[in-house]
Amino acid sequence: MPNNNTDPLFQLIKSLTKAEKRYFKLHATTQKASENTKFIKLFDLIDKQKDFNEVKILEKEESIKSQQLSNLKAHLYKQILKSLRSSNSEEDIDLLIRELIDHSTILYNKCLYEQCVKMLEKAKHTAEKYDKNILLLEITEFEKRLVTKFIRTNIEDKVSFLIKASDQINHKISSISTFSNLTIKLYSFYLKIGFLRNHKDFELVNSFLYSTLPVFQEDKLSFDEKMYLYNSFVGYYFFIQDFERGHEYAKKWVNLFDENSDLILPKIEMYIRALNNLLVSQSKLHKYDEFKVCIQKLDEIKELPDLKITENIRLLLFKYTATHRINRHFMLGEFTEGSQKIPEIAKSLEDFEQLLDTHYIIIFYYKFACMYFGNEDYQNVVYWLNKIINMKDVDLRSDIHSFARILNLISHYELGNIDLVDYYIRSTYRFLIKKNDLHLFQKIIMKFLRKLSSITRDQLIDAFKDLREQLIPLNDKFYERRPFIYFDIISWLESKIEHKNVQETIKQKVQRKISNNL
């Protein structure tokens, strides 16, 4: 018998709020007495367990037999979902519209066509109000079935109206599907390799973008069409490291919600994603004043009237809020202050670890490492980088895996572990070759680190200066500037040359960048 916490029923019960558990108990009393008693008992037993254990359930409740348990669990799972659907139908627009469609189906099957039409009208009005096009198409198709059942005269006008409405909705859905397909394809590229590496990557994504995009007039698009279009363009421009254009479309995306504030709650997930993307672009471009306004909007989401904070929304808010709390300190060069926040964020990360995707866990680990690097706490840098380096799935964000290894080499140098540097250079070189990520930047860094053991202390400053002079021109080359997104090595070198700490060097630079954006 299974004895772990991956059991679907256990996970579902543990996800319920107190109010949802209370509602389920009330909902369950409508079942037959004997059936009700057993699955309520099973619910209570599982609810009390910290770790799922079927053996203990059978030991504690003799009325539940081993051969019954599988069916009883399946029945309980189904009843909990029914209860959740019922308790959330008034708060979730999609569930509300689907409930109206379900009621229409029941009335249709009873030949109560007039009542069915009125029920569909309610569903249609709600779907139009919140731009729920897929559900609107389903309603329109239902209306086509009704047209011969209910209308006795002037059927031609009604048929023409339905056909025109159906065509318009289909066109919208087609555009939305195209834009969302583009977004998810770009995201899959990003998950694998990170930011653009070379001309081959550029040709691939560019040809895909322009072969996929339909002809459109932006001002004629519906809300959803614009929302998915802006999402896809933000993804494209971020991927090719054009953060100015990415910022432009992220701003359009957020403004779209600001101009249609009644759609924020029904499309809350996309609104949160829009704010996140705008914050990413603002942090990359050092638009700190804009960043402060936008982060306040993100913080205020949980205070929105009538917003139900689902687990999904809670996860999104944690993910993006924590990310931008860290990014704020990067923007200001406040590595000491930022490092002090990491233990708290890391603790919350543990709480969400089972729900978070591996991609975001890698991002958090790398941000933690970079923050500690800026604070010259190299033991903690190595601790967080090792969590990335020791991961099994190195095909996910191979770019971060690559730069984690580079940063690990430099951190071991700072810790005086020259023997480890020599060892890790070989393994890093093999990894970069395997991942097709051995570019000029990496070659120069590893050549420098390889020579360190033979450089005397008197020669060290000149060696740092020489390395800086080799690296600075790369920032102006389109396919070689990518590494500077991951790690500000120039500031590290300048701190060595000028005998200053890294934090002081970076802080002076970022303050100038912020001032230039005022």
- Tell me how far apart the alpha carbons of residues 31 and 261 are, in angstroms, rounded to a whole number: 42
CA atoms lying within 13 Å on the CB side of residue 425: 19
pLDDT of residue 478: 76
Residue count (the chain): 518
**Among candidates 106, 81, 97, which has minimal Cα distance to 134?**
97
**Residue whose entry in the numeric block shows the structure tokens 């709390």:** 325
**Which residue blocks in 194-267 are alpha helix, DSSP H?**
199-212, 223-239, 243-259
- Whole-model pTM? 0.82
Output DSSP code: residue 179. Answer: H
pLDDT of residue 437: 65
Output DSSP code: residue 348. Answer: H
Which residues have a Cβ under 8 Å from the Cβ of 272 and sit 6 or more positions away?
Answer: 298, 301, 313, 316, 317, 320
- Tell me how far apart the alpha carbons of residues 403 and 385 are, in angstroms, rounded to a whole number: 10
- Tell me how far apart the alpha carbons of residues 169 and 326 are, in angstroms, rounded to a whole number: 42
**Among candidates 210, 205, 208, which has minimal Cα distance to 240?**
205
- Residue at 300: amino acid letter: E
305: left (phi over 0), alpha (psi -120 to 50) or beta: beta
- Residue at 261: amino acid letter: S
pLDDT of residue 394: 63
- Residue at 433: amino acid letter: I
Q: How far is CA 54 from the centre of its chain?
A: 35
- Tell me how far apart the alpha carbons of residues 479 and 352 are, in angstroms, rounded to a whole number: 36
Which residues have a Cβ under 8 Å from the Cβ of 360 and sit 6 or more positions away?
Answer: 319
Which residues have a Cβ under 8 Å from the Cβ of 287 and sit 6 or more positions away?
Answer: 247, 281, 517
pLDDT of residue 261: 93
Over the stretch 376-393, which tens digit does the pLDDT of each residue have?
Answer: 999 999 999 999 988 876
How many other C-beta atoms lie within 10 A of the C-beta of residue 353?
11
- Tell me how far apart the alpha carbons of residues 508 and 502 are, in angstroms, rounded to a whole number: 10
**Among candidates 127, 173, 119, which has minimal Cα distance to 143?**
119
SS3 373: helix
pLDDT of residue 118: 93
What 363-366 contacts at long range (C-beta under 8 Å, 24+ apart), as own/partner pairs, is 363/323, 363/397, 363/400, 364/322, 364/323, 366/400, 366/403, 366/404, 366/486
Residues of the chain with pLDDT under 70: 1-5, 30-36, 150-154, 193, 393-396, 436-438, 518
Quick check: 480 and 241 in contact, CB under 8 A?
Answer: no
**Residue whose entry in the numeric block shows the structure tokens 């949980």:** 302
Tokens of 474: 């790369």
- Tell me how far apart the alpha carbons of residues 188 and 367 are, in angstroms, rounded to a whole number: 21
SS3 151: coil
